[in-house]
Structure 1
Amino acid sequence: MTVLTRRALNRALLHRQLLLRRWKLTPAKAIERLVGLQAQATNPPYFALWTRLDGFRREQLSRMLSDRRVVRLALMRSTLHLVTADDCLAIRPVLQPMLETAYARSFHARETQGLDLDEVVKVARELIEAEPLTNAALGRALTDRWPGRDVTALLQAVRARLAIVQLPPRGLWGVGGQPTGTTAETWLGRPFAPMSPDDLVLRYLAAFGPASVQDAQAWSGLTRLRKVFDRLELRTFTDEAGVRLFDLPDARRPHSDTPAPVRFLPEFDNSLLSHADRTRIIATEHRPRVFTNNGIIRGTVLVDGFVAATWKLGADALTVTPFGNLSERDEVEAEAHRLAAFAGADVPVQFVAKAAT
């Protein structure tokens, strides 16, 4: 069986993630190819598309959110993602059992013991489909109905059971404020059209392969995917540790010596989050400098395809924090200036020696 080296897996991932060059794709096509963008914060999806697409402009994504062509809601790993309307209606039903199981195993579930959660969800649906509500407003309405119950636990139960999308202006570039939500079916004006678990795995491999069963489960939050892999017609490989990897039969896997340009990835980028073994893009010793104790995943800089620094855009500077001697420093600085210009920030680029804690 063919062994794929770490560099070979790196170049395959970069190709699937549109990071070996900037592509001439529409934002919608790119978002679908990537199976969504991580969207815990407002601006990262904009940076994610800028670093991947030729000529992307911020107003393109803002307009797509306003036109209901893309939406933000809880999907893979029960985290907030930005996906196309079609993918929202196709993917969310496949993930529904995982979302409900995750809630049932959470400490919030203890606070709703004895409640008829079907009734809670029914009431919540009626409320937010009649009028989009903020979490605070929905929480008040639910605790009025079930006084004495923990409001966060009630809201988390509803979030697990209902596909609630965050409505604009939430998600528009530079716009803050409390998220307001309604159900995906109401916002998009059509019902769910579920894809199969098989199709979800194929989409995953197209965006992140070659990958193991454990990798797919780490990305999706789903379990027991071995049977899905077994019934699909896939190519098989191993990595250098002997782990069995799967890929689409006709997928391209660039040579390990393929040049990889400097790329700035935003906070929470899925390139770093979608495998059980992430060494194909970030060295194990560097992970603590990117994955923080409070759940933030810092923006990162790829040099020769691998994470070599973190970055942060502040009011006074765009700061790059290398992990060591930074090769291609001039290219990193030039790309940093391009990123700042995209963000409309007239600030200098600074290199600092030590990551913030």
Structure 2
Amino acid sequence: MRHLVGMQGQAPLAPYVGLWSRLRDFAPDDLSRAIEDRTLVRTTLMRGTVHLVTADDALRLRPLTEPAIIRGFCGGFRSMITAEQEAEVTRWGRELLAERPRTRVELRGLFRERWPEIDADAMAYAVSYLLPTVQPTPRGLWGVSQGAAQLALLEEWVRSPLDPEPSVDAVVLRYLAAFGPGSVNDAQAWSGLTGLREVFDRLAPELMTFASEKGQLLYDLPDAPRPAADHPASPRLLPEYDNVLLSHRDRGRIIDSAQRVPLPPGTGARSGTFLSDGYFRGTWTLEGDVVRIRPHGELGDDAPALVAEGRSLAAFLGGSDAEIASVTRNSTTSRA
């Protein structure tokens, strides 16, 4: 989790599939324990989206990503609430969350009673966007009913203050360690931040540089692994909205079609995407006890390995089998 600088967590169970796809012998209870003991927290960070991160990273990343988070709130609610109202709402919202965790529905009702003239949704979202909060347990625990997301104050939940002097340089280096080679625009797309050109210029003497196929300048750490172009890329089944699909402005390196990365409703671990030959090639869903794989096109030689990977995922999710739905009009679903 630290190496990836967190994982997408809008769907609270998605990180379990994301770690299953990356780690040998991953045990979901290990992740649940880390969330329960508050080593890991679910909080709004990069791009104003929910991530599962270490508590230490939450405290250092929140001040850095705040501009992107505020920008996301203003883009959706600025016309519904004034700056003066916003200050009053967040002040009282902090008091409410200091008492106990609350859902947005609870906050909406309390705010509506106190300020009926202000849009209740705008007030509830002001708290979740503009205050450093986490989504506390039991949300995010494996094998537990997720229920509605609650909000708690980040600093109180982890019992530590926000980092007063977080280093954006260190975060850029960690981005490259996880997702490099990358461009300035890639790092900005991943983080939601702007103005990172001067950070890359400052770090350039300690980085290696490359040119992409389009002539774009890419940066990487000198000792980062860089497999050869003909290195085999085994099929991988990922959760919905996995970081690897979202962490570059130029997504052509992994999505070479017009297909959009899906974020279906639900708590996660029931559907996702898959990679074949290193590219986003389709989706999967757990239907009954079968992982059903739906390619966007023909798979070729990867099909048997993909089914084997699907069976492994099915076993992890409590299922028993995997099958590929045919992409041809006249043939039926094939079970391998």
TM-score normalised by length of structure 1? 0.85
Q: 1:280 and 2:253 equivalent?
A: yes
Q: Any idea what the Cα deviations from partners look like across 1:87-115, whole Å, max 9, x if unmatched?
A: 111111111122112322x1311110263
Q: Which protein, 1 or 2, shows the higher relative CO under an 8 Å CA cutoff with sep ≥ 6?
A: 1
Question: Equivalent residue for 1:180?
Answer: 150
Q: Which of residues 91, 96, 109 in structure 1 aligns to 2:78?
A: 109
The correspondence of residues 253-272 of structure 1 with structure 2, limited to 5 A, is 253-272=226-245
State the 4+ residue runs in structure 1 displaced beyond 3 angstroms: 290-294
User: Does residue 134 in structure 1 map to residue 103 in structure 2?
Assistant: yes
| Separation of aligned partners in 1, 2:314 and 2:281 | 19
Aligned partner (choices 221, 224, 227) of residue 251 of structure 1: 224
2:137 aligns with 168
Q: Distance in 2 between matches of 1:238 and 1:165?
A: 39
Alignment partners' CA distance in 2, 1:180 and 1:32:
24
- Cα distance in 2 for partners of 1:317, 1:306 equals 23
Per the alignment, residue 192 of structure 2 pairs with: 221
Q: Secondary structure, in 3 states, of the residue corresponding to 2:2?
A: helix
**Contact residue 241 and residue 262 of structure 2 kept, 8 A:** no
1:44-98, Cα deviation, whole Å (9 max, x unpaired)? 1000000100111111111111111111011111111100111111111111122
Q: Secondary structure at the match of 1:59?
A: helix
Distance in 1 between the 2:328 and 2:91 partners? 51
Which residue does 1:336 correspond to in 2? 310
SS in 2 for 1:138: helix
- Specify whether residues 102 and 308 from structure 1 end up closer, same or farther in structure 2 by C-alpha distance, changes over 3 A only: closer
- Does residue 79 (structure 1) correspond to residue 41 (structure 2)? The answer is no
- Percent identity between the two aligned chains: 45
Contact kept? 2:240, 2:263, Cα under 8 Å? no
Tell me, which stretches of 5 or more residues in structure 1 are unaligned? 1-30
Distance 2:146 2:326 in 1: 29
Instruction: Please point out which of 90, 103, 118 is paired with 1:121.
Output: 90
Q: Deviations over 1:179-215 (max 9, x none)?
A: 1221110000111125211111111111111111111
Q: Structure 1's 191 and 114: CA in aligned 2 closer, same or farther, altered over 3 A?
A: closer
Offset, 1:119: 2.1
Structure 2: gaps (5+ residues): 330-336
Q: Is contact 1:321–1:354 with CA below 8 Å preserved after alignment?
A: no
Q: Over aligned residue pairs, what C-alpha RMSD do you find?
A: 2.2
Separation in structure 2 between the aligned mates of residue 247 and residue 120 of structure 1, nearest angstrom:
43
User: How many residues were matched structurally?
Assistant: 321
Paired residues of 2:311 and 2:320 also in contact (CA < 8 A): no
The separation in 1 between residues aligned to 2:308 and 2:76, in whole angstroms, is: 47
Matched, 1:235 2:208: yes
TM-score (norm 2): 0.90
Whether 2:193 is the aligned partner of 1:206: answer: no
The alignment partner of 1:252 has SS state of: coil
**2:37 matched to which residue of 1?**
67
Per-residue deviation, 1:176:
2.0
Q: Partners in 2 of 1:333 and 1:348 — Cα distance?
A: 6
Pick closer, same or farther for the CA change 1:224–1:349 going to 2, 3 Å.
same
Query: Is the contact between residue 319 and residue 352 of structure 1 (CA under 8 Å) also seen in structure 2?
Result: no
Whole-angstrom distance in 1 between the partners of 2:131 and 2:110? 16
Give the deviation of 1:346 after TM superposition. Answer: 3.4
